[in-house]
Structure 1
Amino acid sequence: MNDWRIYRGVGQPHDGVRRLPEPPPWRDFAADQDGAESGPEDSSSARRLGVRRRLVENYAPRPAEVDAVNAALYLRRPLLVTGNPGTGKSTLAYAVAHELGLGTVLRWPIVSRTTLHDGLYRYDAIGRLQDVQLERAQGAEGAAAAASGIGSYLRLGPLGTALLPAAEPRVLLIDELDKSDLDLPNDLLNTLEEGEFAIPELERLADREPVVEVLTHDGERVSVHGGRVACTAFPVIVLTSNGERDFPAPLLRRCIQLELEPPGEEQLTAMVEAHLGEESVTAGRDLIARFLDREPGEVVAADQLLNALFLTQHAPRAERLTRERIADMLMQPLDRTR
């Protein structure tokens, strides 16, 4: 069918949605991963790095990026990555985990209401109280059993899970730290420096229950001894920032700092090929060139280019004006005033 449009705006119901093609690889949340490379990774890794992840080796990161990652690995320090939206700050964490075989990336997205406690653990005291009251109504023996099962109501957050003792480090992405309130960067200092934290709810029970099983952020059960979690291998922590605020000097002192530049032609070509294949690179040379030739200081994210390439390949080649209109819509500068 020549008409690529699913929604036509004619007000007449139809079954055109059945013609909707498969989603872009980076937006395919239902992928079963059967055709992906094996390994202890989640689906978000494929979406971030591309379904053809073997091509990540062709990404050719700049020497400064490689040096900063290695400095963070050697010194066991967090890596603070700043840069414009779409420069690959978050993807860097997935690339490190993929290359070093460090498994699923733990992700902690930051919003204005996020606290350190959210990252370390959550205790469902209300849920436990309700269960105790329910068991109490059914008999004293059941109440005693429920009261002792505190581990069922405690779940470690992404930071708490990353700090569990392990032979190899976990990769933790603390995404968009500049979205936090003023206190969070300072609240992180002690935990990032010491690599451990206490769970007061378990410390109070340490005499009676020295070992308690709790849930991790991954949904697995692990044992916590004496109410404290202390890492044996400091996690690979990547903090990202869009540069919207300044961070306190004590946090900067504890981090390896890296500012990512917008991707160049080599990085863009490898990115497009990893997500969409070599044919998309050939067909989209004009859009890649347009992305690279933007005005100095103009902010355009790489995923905008991927969106434009994916969608324009479904518009018939003859509809040049439609293709240009789609590209204009999807590649608008992010810093343009409305």
Structure 2
Amino acid sequence: MNIHAPLPVSGPSDAPPPRERLFRGTGERYADDVPLPEPPPWRKARADGTARTSRPYLIGPEQVEVVNAALRLRRPLLVTGNPGTGKSSLAYAVADELGLGPVLVWPVNTRSTLTDALYRYDAIGRLRGDGGRAGTGAAAGAESDATAGVGSYVRLGPLGTALATRHEGRPRLLLIDELDKSDVDLPNDLLHVLEEGEFTIPELARLPESPHGVPVHTEGSHERVTVHRGSVRCADFPLVVMTSNGEREFPPAFLRRCVRLELPDPGPRQLQDIVRAHFAEAGPGALAAQWPAIEVLIENFVARRDLGGLATDQLLHAVHLLRQGIQPDERHLREAVLRELHDRGGR
């Protein structure tokens, strides 16, 4: 196989490089000593290896006040809006600004149940006598009775972990994503847990009472928490952000317990601010050479979004390609990067 390197770049440093194909579909190898182009700033991994990075988040002052009301009341925040308006990203922005640690995420679908979010019990692993205790080493040996050992087969889910743990003395943040995709009964099933901040694990409640409690695993970490009498009760109500694309209505009893936030589609000026914020780490003037083209791109994006539905991150993807010398308005790229979320038909 032949080795090929990227084409040389000439001209001002802030000008887009000439277009090149990284993958050519010919079997030719890309040069081993030439790095691939940088990914978008928001797609770079954290230093600790996690994929989610801190991303700038821009919303209006009225929306900020609603978020703060939910924080002060410690009520679930129900965020609705069109796809791409930043509903899920809001949870990460709140956790990042308030220092609440990694966001606990419960992605909801039609098969989701409340128990899924609270805890999982590995009954088969316990019957086999393996799996749950594997790898616990000295910790397993320190468990002096069978009651404590059952905890090796229990892992709290995202909601259970949000109730049972804190992050450096502060409550956890739980993102319940796309709640409107759930079974019709799930929002009502959530009411008691979100109101009372507690739940029971029947598999542990049936055990003989242990003065030391039962250590169980938690979601997303190696931390273990101790459960007494099978009951998990929060010391501090977690912050709960629930998102909905508005695909269906929720029961009045559920809505009454939420603070509701409707995120509008960002306008042209806000989109310009969002683009600048997401590429800020590239340095001052990083977008100067492409800014006239970016303004046209934003104008076309708004017009097409109003017709068929586009998400803001699609615009950011198009801007990144534009910075790398690729015109996202070319038909085949437009269909891939700026394709409407809802086909209009007749296109």
Under a length normalisation based on structure 1, what TM-score does the superposition of the two structures give?
Answer: 0.81
2:240 matched residue in structure 1: 237
Amino acid at match of 1:22: E
Q: Residues 152-192 of structure 1, C-alpha deviation per residue, up to 9 Å, x if partnerless?
A: 11111110011125442211100011111222112111111
CA contact 1:131–1:146 (8 Å) conserved in 2: no
2:277 matched residue in structure 1: 274
1:332 matched residue in structure 2: 339
Q: Does 1:92 align with 2:90?
A: yes
Counterpart CA distance in 2 for 1:75 and 1:107 is 21
After TM superposition, give the deviation of residue 285 of structure 1 in Å: 2.4
CA contact 2:148–2:215 (8 Å) conserved in 1: no
CA contact 1:210–1:227 (8 Å) conserved in 2: no
User: What are structure 1's unaligned runs of at least 5 residues?
Assistant: 35-41, 136-140
| Change over 3 Å in CA distance of 1:148–1:101 after alignment to 2 | closer
Under a length normalisation based on structure 2, what TM-score does the superposition of the two structures give?
Answer: 0.79
What aligned pairs does 1:63-142 form with structure 2 within 5 A after superposition?
Answer: 63-131=61-129
Higher helix proportion (structure 1 or 2):
1
Secondary structure of the corresponding residue to residue 287 of structure 2: helix
Counterpart CA distance in 2 for 1:266 and 1:177 is 30
Give the alignment's Cα RMSD to 1 decimal: 3.0
| Change over 3 Å in CA distance of 1:17–1:185 after alignment to 2 | farther
Counterpart CA distance in 1 for 2:248 and 2:288 is 36
Q: Structure 1 residue aligned with 2:219, among 202, 217, 220?
A: 217
Amino acid at match of 2:129: D
Q: Residues 92-133 of structure 1, C-alpha deviation per residue, up to 9 Å, x if partnerless?
A: 111111121212111111112111011001111110110179
2:152 matched residue in structure 1: 152
> Please, which moves more after superposition, 122-131 or 269-278?
269-278
2:29 matched residue in structure 1: 15
Counterpart CA distance in 1 for 2:110 and 2:273 is 35
| Change over 3 Å in CA distance of 1:165–1:216 after alignment to 2 | closer
CA contact 1:273–1:281 (8 Å) conserved in 2: no
Amino acid at match of 2:239: V
| Change over 3 Å in CA distance of 1:179–1:161 after alignment to 2 | same
| Change over 3 Å in CA distance of 1:17–1:66 after alignment to 2 | farther
Counterpart CA distance in 2 for 1:281 and 1:90 is 30
Q: Residues 199-255 of structure 1, C-alpha deviation per residue, up to 9 Å, x if partnerless?
A: 111212251355111111132112222221111221110000111111111111111
How many pairs are equivalent? 309
Secondary structure of the corresponding residue to residue 163 of structure 1: helix
> Please, which moves more after superposition, 301-310 or 275-284?
275-284
2:312 matched residue in structure 1: 302
- Structure 1 outlier segments of 4+, above 4 Å: 144-148
2:189 matched residue in structure 1: 187
CA contact 2:308–2:344 (8 Å) conserved in 1: no
User: What are structure 2's unaligned runs of at least 5 residues?
Assistant: 1-6, 8-17, 134-140
